[in-house]
């Protein structure tokens, strides 16, 4: 496009002009952002890279503070009915779109309907299923959108009705599926509404430039209700798929914050740039799923437990991954709201005791060093997964004599294999969509479909998780979910390995970038201290 060519001319001119001292320097921050966004349409994308940009462009009913706590966003207050089913949001009067139009309840109605519309084919539509009739609408069972539990009572009052009390509903609304949309511009521009110049947004920033694979520029939105608190005038997002390259750009001063860190250079970073290294727990677990639908793992709890016990998680996280991850003895990571971690009983055992028990269970399952288990570990292409798989295979060999071979597939093929259950042991991870235990447990309901990679099928577990969805008392609900996790962990359909941490490099002059468990860092809270 001529934009790209013109851009190069502009860049050349800018490079030359950079020598001319500027009168007032705009505060610009350069962020590494992982992959190139699939789309900036909130209903057509679902990754972290896209979410970061969309979080700066749009504001939902509920927003996130610098520490990821829930704060009023487009809605200044809300009430919940006693039965937990009806949420009434009062929108702020001074909410504006970037073209000056006021943000109304209709904008949310339009957006939520569009998100659930089967014609939009939004792959994260299911996150809105707690809303009354949402699932039926997306499946095409209900054609009349008026039956959807989302109503605009007037310009500034929005009422959402749920099908069951959902304690994590407000947290879910911070997901991009809950953002409003400016109907007029979408209808005017159609598919091209996400282009710079066409896009109308209600967040702290507007989209001003998009050079595919090169960078995306957002500039401050003067119509934003908190615009005078926003200190960064311009933010540039760069696609950085290679963490090693990203680190080099960071060191050269081209990036102010990185998206990730190359795992094998952690020691070097901690020795040379310790103050710029940010490491914090993340709402996610790395685990190995065991295919419980095939031999030899089917109905063979002893074998599965043996494999789990034989892995030395402390050694793995200390020597192989080395990013401060927490060895995982439960599936649900620490820091989940209102939930107590359920550590497996072998967490308290010493390494020798675990190995001894593993060997006993292995023998019980009918295996021995002379009759070893042959197993295949499937993982998707990545240095990190490879290193962990090699280490796990070595541990299994050392402790039990298991012969493990490794199968490496690239992402899409790996997903197909995993979904079709074409594996014996598969590497997987789960990052919570919202801060509640349910997002981790609903994965393994017997009717969860391909997401339930191990094919876990336990009646008691299903019963507990489903009943918890309707339980209004917070404490009782927590107990039900905790018991469900205990049942799940005992069956050892999965082997949790570690709980995630996120790691970033952040330049010392970037202020307002706070560590938090959801790893969200809206640019509206950042400032530069140069």
Partner 1 sequence: MYAYAVRRLLGAVPTILAVIVIAFFMIRLAPGGPFDSERAIPPEIAANLAGAYHLDEPLGDQFVRYLGNVLAGDFGPSFRYKDYSVTELLWSGFPVSAQLGISAMVLAVLLGTAAGAYAAVRRNTIVDGGIMALAMTGIAVPNFVVAPLLTLVLGVYLSLLPVGGWGGLSHAVLPVVALALPQVAYVARLTRGSMLEVLRADFIRTARAKGLGARRIVTRHALRAALLPVVSYLGPATAAIITGSVVIEQIFGLPGIGRYFVQGALNRDYTLVMGVVIFYAILILLFNLVVDLLYPLIDPRVRYD
Partner 2 sequence: MTDLHAHIPVRSLWGYAWLRLKRNRAAMTGAVLLALIAAACIVGPWLLSHELDAVDWDHIQSPPSLASEHILGTDANGRDLLVRILHGGRVSLAIGLAATLVAVIIGIAWGATAGYAGGRWDGFMMRFVDVLYALPFMFFVIILMVFFGRDIYLLFIALGAVSWLDMARIVRGQTISLKYKDFVLAARAMGTPPLRLVTRHIVPNALGPVAVFATLTVPQVILYESFLSFLGLGVQEPMTSWGVLISEGAQLMESAPWMLIAPAAFLTLTLFCLNFVGDGLRDALDPRG
SS3 state at 243: helix
- In angstroms, the CA 304 to CA 216 distance is 47
Q: How far are the Cα atoms of 47, 76, 208 from residue 51, in angstroms, in the given order?
A: 6, 23, 17
Residue closer to partner 2 (CB basis): 228 or 352: 352
Helix and strand numbers (H, E) in the chain are: 16, 18
State which residue, 313 or 499, has the beta carbon closest to partner 1: 499
The interface partner of residue 319, options being partner 2, partner 1, none and the CB cut-off 5 to 8 Å by kind, is partner 2
C-beta closer to partner 1: residue 67 or 123: 123
Region for 181 from its dihedrals, namely left if φ exceeds 0, alpha if ψ lies in -120 to 50, beta otherwise: beta
β-bridge pairing 403-409 and 374-380:
parallel
Q: Which does 389 bind (CB under 5 to 8 A by kind): partner 1, partner 2, none?
A: partner 2
The footprint of partner 2 on residues 314-333 (CB under 8 A) is 315, 319-320
Q: 292 or 515, CB closer to partner 1?
A: 292
Residue list 368-387, contact with partner 2 (CB under 8 A) = 381-383, 386-387
Q: Which is nearer to partner 2, 267 or 299 (CB)?
A: 267
The CA distance from 182 to 99, in Å, is 10
Among 164, 211, 326, 406, binds partner 2 (CB under 8 A): 406
Question: What are the angstrom distances between the C-alpha of 243 and each of 38, 52, 399?
Answer: 19, 18, 34
The residue within the footprint of partner 2, chosen from 86, 302, 347, 413 (CB under 8 A), is 413
**Could you tell me the smallest distance in angstroms from the CB atom of residue 416 to partner 1?**
5
267, 275, 299, 420: which one contacts partner 2 (CB under 8 A)?
A: 267
Q: Does 509 bind partner 2 (CB under 8 A)?
A: no
Strands of the 277-290 sheet, one edge to the other: 326-327, 494-505, 277-290, 425-431, 374-380, 403-409
Residue 233, interface with partner 2 (CB under 8 A)? no
**Minimal distance, residue 121 CB to partner 1, in Å:** 4
Nearer to partner 1 (CB atom), residue 17 or residue 71: 17
- Residue among 58 and 396 whose Cβ is closer to partner 2: 396
Q: Which does 320 bind (CB under 5 to 8 A by kind): partner 2, partner 1, none?
A: partner 2
- Piece of 34-42, 62-70, 105-113, 400-408 that binds partner 2 (CB under 8 A): 400-408
Distance, in Å, from the CA atom of 284 to the CA atom of 328, rounded to the nearest integer, reads: 10
| Tokens standing for residue 391 | 């280490």
Positions that interact with partner 1 (CB under 8 A): 1, 3-5, 7-8, 11-12, 15, 36-41, 44-46, 118-126, 138-140, 191-192, 194-195, 211-215, 238-242, 244-245, 248-249, 251-254, 410-413, 415-416, 419, 449-451
Q: Which of 408, 417, 422, 457 binds partner 2 (CB under 8 A)?
A: 408
Q: How buried is residue 212: exposed, middle or buried, by Cβ count under 10 Å (0-12/13-18/19+)?
A: exposed
82, 266 in Cβ contact below 8 A?
no
265 binds partner 2 (CB under 8 A): yes
Measured between alpha carbons, how far is 280 from 121 in angstroms, rounded to an integer?
Answer: 35
- Which one of partner 1, partner 2, none is in contact with 44 (Cβ closer than 5 to 8 A by kind)? partner 1
Q: How far is the CB of 381 from partner 2 (least distance, A)?
A: 3
Judged by CB under 8 A, the stretch of 73-81, 102-110, 388-396, 454-462 that binds partner 2 is: 388-396
Radius of gyration of the chain (CA): 25
244 binds partner 2 (CB under 8 A): yes
Binding partner of 366, given partner 1, partner 2, none, CB within 5-8 angstroms per partner class: none
| Residue 212 interacts with which of partner 2, partner 1, none, CB < 5 to 8 Å by class | partner 1
Among candidate residues 519, 484, 497, the one with its CA nearest the CA of residue 285:
497
Q: Which two tokens stand for residue 236?
A: 């540039």
Candidate segments 142-150, 360-368, 398-406, 473-481, binder of partner 2 by CB under 8 A: 398-406
Measured distance CA(189)–CA(178) in Å, rounded: 22
Residue 296 host element (H or E): none
Least CB distance to partner 1 at residue 412 (A): 3
389 forms part of the interface with partner 2 (CB under 8 A): yes
The residues, any chain, with a CB within 8 Å of residue 92's CB and separated by 6 or more, are: 72, 74, 75, 76, 103, 156, 225
Report how far residue 493's alpha carbon sits from residue 107's, in angstroms, rounded to the nearest whole number: 44
Residue with Cβ nearer partner 1 (191 or 490)? 191
DSSP string, 155-224: TTEEEEEBSS--TTHHHHTTSGGG----HHHHHHHGGGGGSTTT----SSEEEEEEETTTEEEEEE-TTS
- CB of 386: closest distance to partner 2 in angstroms? 7
Select from partner 2, partner 1, none the partner in contact with residue 462, using the beta carbon and a kind-dependent cut-off of 5 to 8 Å: none
Residues binding partner 2 (CB under 8 A): 244, 262, 264-265, 267-268, 315, 319-320, 381-383, 386-387, 389-391, 393-394, 398, 405-410, 413
């Amino acid at each position: 496009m001529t934009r790209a060519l013109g851009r190069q001319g502009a860049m050349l001119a800018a490079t030359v002009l950079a020598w001319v001292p500027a009168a007032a320097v705009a505060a610009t921050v350069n962020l590494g952002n992982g992959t190139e966004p699939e789309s900036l349409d909130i209903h057509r994308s679902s990754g972290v890279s896209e979410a970061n940009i969309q979080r700066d462009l749009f504001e939902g009913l509920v927003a996130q503070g610098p520490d990821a706590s829930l704060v009023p966003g487009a809605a200044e207050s809300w009430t919940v009915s006693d039965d937990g089913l009806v949420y009434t949001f009062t929108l702020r009067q001074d909410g504006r779109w970037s073209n000056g139009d006021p943000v109304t309840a209709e904008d949310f109605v339009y957006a939520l309907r569009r998100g659930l519309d089967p014609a939009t084919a939004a792959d994260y539509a299911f996150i809105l299923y707690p809303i009354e009739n949402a699932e039926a609408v997306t499946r095409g069972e209900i054609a009349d959108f008026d039956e959807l539990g989302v109503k605009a009572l007037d310009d500034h009052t929005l009422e959402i009705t749920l099908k069951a009390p959902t304690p994590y509903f407000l947290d879910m609304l911070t997901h991009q599926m809950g953002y409003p949309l400016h109907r007029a511009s979408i209808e005017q521009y159609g598919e091209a509404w996400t282009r710079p110049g066409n896009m109308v947004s209600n967040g702290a920033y507007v989209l001003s430039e998009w050079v595919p694979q090169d960078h995306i520029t957002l500039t401050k939105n003067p119509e934003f209700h908190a615009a005078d608190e926003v200190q960064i005038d311009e933010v540039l997002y760069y696609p950085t798929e290679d963490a090693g390259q990203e680190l080099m750009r960071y060191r050269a001063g081209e990036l102010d914050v990185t998206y990730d860190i190359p795992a094998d250079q952690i020691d070097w970073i901690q020795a040379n740039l310790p103050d710029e290294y940010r490491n914090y727990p993340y709402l996610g677990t790395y685990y190995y799923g065991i295919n419980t639908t095939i031999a030899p793992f089917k109905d063979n709890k002893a074998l599965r437990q043996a494999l789990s016990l034989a892995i030395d998680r402390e050694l793995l996280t200390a020597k192989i991954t080395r990013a401060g991850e927490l060895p995982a003895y439960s599936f649900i990571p620490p820091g989940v709201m209102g939930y107590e971690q359920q550590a497996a009983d072998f967490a308290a055992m010493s390494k020798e005791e675990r190995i001894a028990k593993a060997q006993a269970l292995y023998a019980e399952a009918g295996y021995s060093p002379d009759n070893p288990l042959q197993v295949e570990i499937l993982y998707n292409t990545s240095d990190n997964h490879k290193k962990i798989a090699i280490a796990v295979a070595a541990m299994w060999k050392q402790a039990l004599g298991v012969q493990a071979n490794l199968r490496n597939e690239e992402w899409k093929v790996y997903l197909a294999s995993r979904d079709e259950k074409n594996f014996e042991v598969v590497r997987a991870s789960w990052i919570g969509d919202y801060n509640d235990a349910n997002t981790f447990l609903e994965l393994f309901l017997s009717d969860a479909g391909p997401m339930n990679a191990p094919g876990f099928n336990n009646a008691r577990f299903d019963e507990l998780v489903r009943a918890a969805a309707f339980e209004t008392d917070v404490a009782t609900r927590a107990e039900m979910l905790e018991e469900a996790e205990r049942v799940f962990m005992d069956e050892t359909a999965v082997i949790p390995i570690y709980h995630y941490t996120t790691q970033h490099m952040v330049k010392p002059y970037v202020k307002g970038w706070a560590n938090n468990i959801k790893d969200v860092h809206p640019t509206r809270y950042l400032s530069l201290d140069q």
